[in-house]
Structure 1
């Protein structure tokens, strides 16, 4: 009896905050937390599934670049280490996406031979391609002499004498995708188009395309 009475007296003398801590948490509070966690989990899962479906439906495919014509208006390799070339390329650019448009905000091109530029880099006008559409460009590149290695000068002279020259048309730029009212951030892209042309020294004008596989586009 004395022990029970002592215990009761100790409980009566506990501070109010400690008495409050000893009380069990109300059932309603724990139930509300579980309901909130369940709702949050389901909500996040629904958002994830929605984003996955939208990505599968609207995921953009890379644009297609194809060189369909080349004209040579000048190719002077007789003043090493400088080389002067003037070329015009007819390029078809296609947007293969049926639900996504493409903005080309910054766009430039140059020509290389044996991985060395033989024309200065030229800025091209911005482009906008609607869904599943295509456009043709005919940029004239070159006209200004650029320094090149002896390997490039000699290689071009040998190829001209043989009648077949391998060139690479290079594109650089930044693009954005547009789906409905949503526009993505800018993505850098790099395109290279390997072409084989039939060219004899001194010839000026449209040259035959001996090989023009689809351009390789990296985004």
Structure 2
């Protein structure tokens, strides 16, 4: 075998194996990078591990509740909701918050848009949204149920808050997560009464993220 033939053979082998080696190197690099990124994310999560915020209804007022024209209801209500951020290292941004009231799983107010909220670590914030003020179509069952509950003096309502939140830990901010807050309560309400109504208990809300 001549020197020139040997050189051509070596060059051919290098050309044949170089792309394979390059692909193997790229795959190895990507796997190592993903492993390091996963480990880093897990460590950050274990350190900061955000807990769900807590919501509690502490006050309610009814300024109007008109059920005289079924199947349409008009009502204006106000609720005082206390929300607590239990996290020591994580703050919360709330975006696109809205609230509405339902009765027997049927919405009886239009959604009320709430301003964005930044919730610092280990703090408590009170919200007092006024909800309603417009006619809402309902079923006859809902209209008749409200009339009967008002006559009895106890009405079961559900306050619902929906929106999106982000967690903030130091310079790290997460993407958006949907948040759904459901507050079931019993209020003492007689027909024709206007103003602050008693809450039968101080219901803590369920929070889904």
Which TM bucket (shorter chain)? 0.7 to 0.9
TM-score of the superposed pair, with normalisation by structure 2: 0.85
Runs of 4+ aligned structure 1 residues displaced above 6 Å come to: 36-43
Unaligned stretches of 5+ in structure 2? 14-25
User: Are positions 1:95 and 2:88 aligned together?
Assistant: no
Report the counterpart of residue 64 of structure 2 in structure 1: 74
Distance 1:156 1:41, change over 3 A: closer
Report the counterpart of residue 5 of structure 1 in structure 2: none
Unaligned stretches of 5+ in structure 1? 1-10, 24-35
User: Are positions 1:199 and 2:183 aligned together?
Assistant: no
User: Are positions 1:213 and 2:203 aligned together?
Assistant: yes
Deviation string for 1:104-125 (max 9, x for gaps)? 1211101000111111111011
Distance 1:165 1:42, change over 3 A: same
Q: 1:170 aligns with which of 151, 160, 163?
A: 160
Superposition deviation, residue 66 in structure 1: 0.6
CA contact 1:193–1:212 (8 Å) conserved in 2: no
**Separation in structure 2 between the aligned mates of residue 78 and residue 19 of structure 1, nearest angstrom:** 97
Report the counterpart of residue 21 of structure 2 in structure 1: none
TM-score of the superposed pair, with normalisation by structure 1: 0.81
Superposition deviation, residue 43 in structure 1: 6.7
Distance 1:191 1:22, change over 3 A: closer
CA contact 1:88–1:141 (8 Å) conserved in 2: yes
Give the alignment's Cα RMSD to 1 decimal.
2.7
**Separation in structure 2 between the aligned mates of residue 140 and residue 50 of structure 1, nearest angstrom:** 44
Matches for 1:44-123 after TM superposition, within 5 Å: 45-123=35-113
Superposition deviation, residue 158 in structure 1: 0.9
User: Are positions 1:135 and 2:130 aligned together?
Assistant: no
Deviation string for 1:122-170 (max 9, x for gaps)? 1011111111111101111111111111010001011111111100001
Report the counterpart of residue 149 of structure 1 in structure 2: 139
Deviation string for 1:26-66 (max 9, x for gaps)? xxxxxxxxxx9999877765544332221111121111111
More moved, 47-56 vs 165-174 = 47-56
Query: Number of aligned pairs?
Result: 200
Distance 1:183 1:13, change over 3 A: closer
CA contact 1:101–1:130 (8 Å) conserved in 2: yes
Whichever of the two has the greater Rg, that structure is 1
